[in-house]
Structure 1
Amino acid sequence: MTPPPAAARSIGRRGFLIGATGVLAAAGLAACGTSGAPGEADSPQGGPGFPTSIPNRYGTAEIKAAPQRVVSLGITDHDVLLPLGVVPVGLTKWGPWESGVGPWVEPMLRGEKPKIFGSEVDAEGVIALAPDVMLALQSALTQEQYNRLTSFNPVVAQPPEAIDYGVNWRVQAETIGRALGKQDEVTKLVADTQARIDRTREANPLFQGKTHVTVRTDSAGTYAAYTKQDARTALLEQLGLRLSPAIEGLDSGGKFNVKISKEQVSLLDADVVIVTTAKATDVEAVRNDPLLNNLPAAKRGSLILLDDYDLTMALGSATVSSIPFALDHLTPKLVDALS
């Protein structure tokens, strides 16, 4: 998954510096906003699956009862909430869409309009929504930010050992299902998504063993090839494709992508090359990129330029909700490129 721009990557420190009056007022709101019978949240029996403890990179989220009000701080965590019938009261904007969510889940908002958090979310804004739990799996939440937020209510942050914005789609879904007490529903969601991947692979044996490279570029001609740490690569490998050895052999420092200079563009060649753009407005410039068009893959018609930005974002999101959408739109392009 591609992290958002640097300005959008973290919850700003200034937002967390609220005074004692603001903290007390917010805490009061949280108490008033919790649904259920009086004392239910403090009961040792908070419903099936509760209480539950969910470890994360910074500590453990102790959730006493099924959350009724959820804030989604992870950039794609709403992709799991919405198919479970849970509309978050607030979410971090993802992609260019006004609703803050992709078209694959937008109908699931059911006309509701969660508060949209942008590049800098302040604690007052989050707490004013009286969340029972805050989800921040696909995020770059820091220890300091976690400590401040979790002092109000539980925060389900990045799983242990996960890199920022790099939580596997299964782990993301299963962790959120546990936090909500909806493990059975999530098990079905995960199974359905995996079955869709498996059917696509089985229906397209020509994918098996073919090499691929997915590259992100822009109108300025900068190139970054996605590595095995990235969700795009993981999905393509589940379809039977394999990352080009030329890219796999480069040291990315454990990051999502590795920079490729203009002098190294030949490294981007593979049986199929998928080109994504930083912005939708970059597509036309990239279409005419002489270096990319000189690749052997381009000359034989095996270079796929994603000119549908919804598809670009779905492929990068890689969630239980976006993967089927991505497969619907990408599979025919892969077949054409490899036939």
Structure 2
Amino acid sequence: MTPPPPAAGARNRFGRRGFLVGATGVLATGLAAGLAACGNAGGPDATGNAQAGPGFPTSIPNRYGAAELKAAPQRLVTLGITDHDVLLPLGLIPAGLTKWGPWDSGVGPWVEPLLGGQRPKVFGSEVDAEGVIALAPDVTIALQSALTQEQYNRLSSFGPVVAQPPNSIDYGVNWRVQAETIGQALGKQAEVAKLLAGTQARIDQTRRDNPVFDGKTHVTVRTDSAGTYAAYTKQDARTALLEQLGLRLSPAIENLDSGGKFNVKVSKEQVSLLDADVVIVTTAKATDVDAVRKDPLLNNLPAAKRGALVLLDDYDLTMALGSATVSSIPFALERLTPKLVDAVS
């Protein structure tokens, strides 16, 4: 997943904040008024004390330690750039979230209807730690993030932090792991299991319906109007999704040393490495599409000459593919599959 560029001069500030409001049943009358309870599990009893509820207490390990949750959280902050994609289909609306993509709401069109007309506060990619702490979250979720040890220490001194899993890369948490971890943190494992099953069924059906994909090589490249190229590796969610459809990453890219990162830079002199049975081209910004469409190096690839170069000029699709969450994958498949079929047929 491609991380958003940090705001200038904001390196020492923290990414993304928000706390949760129940979206099923009665919603809180305003974000400033607090948080609506998400069911009874983990809610306060008659004495005002939190009940543990099923699945609690629980411990969720991360690269810096572990989040120890005694009861189901009633309010939370989401620092991960797409963590809200798991919350919203569970009927949970963040009061504040990281701006992901070009949309004013900060969320993709695949989940925007689930906001139910509410307008959570939208933050930039970097956020003030004190602003997060001021929300007094029961738990902070930062799975799809680049949270540092220092940031983790500061935030976890005020409450549990569900940070990047052990051995994961920044912004590189598998969509299933993301959803399952959030389900555990919320005590909603059963609901998450249904979401996962539905998304996986959509992937499996797409593969069954399109046997022409099986064994075909692919490369997904990110470029811009300046003509810089980065090919996504097996560490990236785009590649993982395409391989679930039966496609396989081009050996030319797989054999490059990416240092464990989700993409590898490709120079203009190496542009031939980007060729494959199907080449998917994404752009850094929606405004780059016209320039990229005329890129002479990409248009000289054998794939382009036989009509197998797929330029994504639908930026909603570009972002859905890059998000690769339990919510965005079905949206991406609906729009991308016909393009892939045309390219490889």
Q: CA, structure 1 residues 68+226, in 2 after alignment: closer, same or farther (shift >3 Å)?
A: same
Structure 1 match to 2:12: 13
Query: Which residues in structure 2 correspond to 1:62-77 (within 5 Å)?
Result: 62-77=68-83
CA-CA distance at 1:337 after TM superposition = 0.5
What TM-score results when the alignment is normalised by the length of structure 1? 0.91
Structure 1 match to 2:26: none
Equivalent residue for 1:227, pick from 227, 233, 248: 233
Query: CA separation in 2, counterparts of 1:307 and 1:93?
Result: 21
Equivalent residue for 1:158, pick from 156, 164, 180: 164
Structure 1 residue 2 and structure 2 residue 2: aligned? yes
Query: CA separation in 1, counterparts of 2:56 and 2:258?
Result: 41
Unaligned 5+ segments in structure 1 are: 17-31
Structure 1 match to 2:44: 37
Give the partner amino acid of 1:281.
T
Deviations 1:40-71 (A, max 9, x none): 8865x411111111111111111111111121
Equivalent residue for 1:89, pick from 79, 95, 99: 95
Structure 2 match to 1:27: none
Structure 1 match to 2:183: 177
Deviations 1:132-157 (A, max 9, x none): 11110000001110111111111100
Q: Share of identical aligned residues, percent?
A: 82
Unaligned 5+ segments in structure 2 are: 16-33, 38-42
Q: CA, structure 1 residues 290+2, in 2 after alignment: closer, same or farther (shift >3 Å)?
A: same
Write 1 or 2 for the structure with the bigger share of helix: 1
What TM-score results when the alignment is normalised by the length of structure 2? 0.89
CA-CA distance at 1:211 after TM superposition = 0.3
Query: CA separation in 1, counterparts of 2:243 and 2:13?
Result: 41
Give the partner amino acid of 1:332.
P
Whether the aligned pair in 2 keeps the contact of 1:158 and 1:167 (CA below 8 Å) is yes
CA-CA distance at 1:97 after TM superposition = 0.9
Q: What SS does structure 1 have at the residue aligned with 2:7?
A: helix
Query: CA separation in 1, counterparts of 2:130 and 2:46?
Result: 25
Whether the aligned pair in 1 keeps the contact of 2:6 and 2:126 (CA below 8 Å) is no
Deviations 1:106-161 (A, max 9, x none): 01111122222213211222123232111100000011101111111111000111
Query: CA separation in 2, counterparts of 1:265 and 1:284?
Result: 19
Q: CA, structure 1 residues 326+2, in 2 after alignment: closer, same or farther (shift >3 Å)?
A: same
Whether the aligned pair in 1 keeps the contact of 2:277 and 2:344 (CA below 8 Å) is yes
Structure 2 match to 1:128: 134
Whether the aligned pair in 1 keeps the contact of 2:233 and 2:264 (CA below 8 Å) is yes
User: How many correspondences in the alignment?
Assistant: 323
Equivalent residue for 1:191, pick from 170, 191, 197: 197
Structure 1 match to 2:107: 101
Whether the aligned pair in 2 keeps the contact of 1:70 and 1:90 (CA below 8 Å) is no
Q: CA, structure 1 residues 171+251, in 2 after alignment: closer, same or farther (shift >3 Å)?
A: same
Structure 1 residue 300 and structure 2 residue 306: aligned? yes
Whether the aligned pair in 2 keeps the contact of 1:41 and 1:65 (CA below 8 Å) is no
Query: CA separation in 2, counterparts of 1:41 and 1:137?
Result: 31
Deviations 1:308-328 (A, max 9, x none): 000000000000000000000
Equivalent residue for 1:338, pick from 323, 338, 344: 344
Whether the aligned pair in 2 keeps the contact of 1:89 and 1:129 (CA below 8 Å) is no
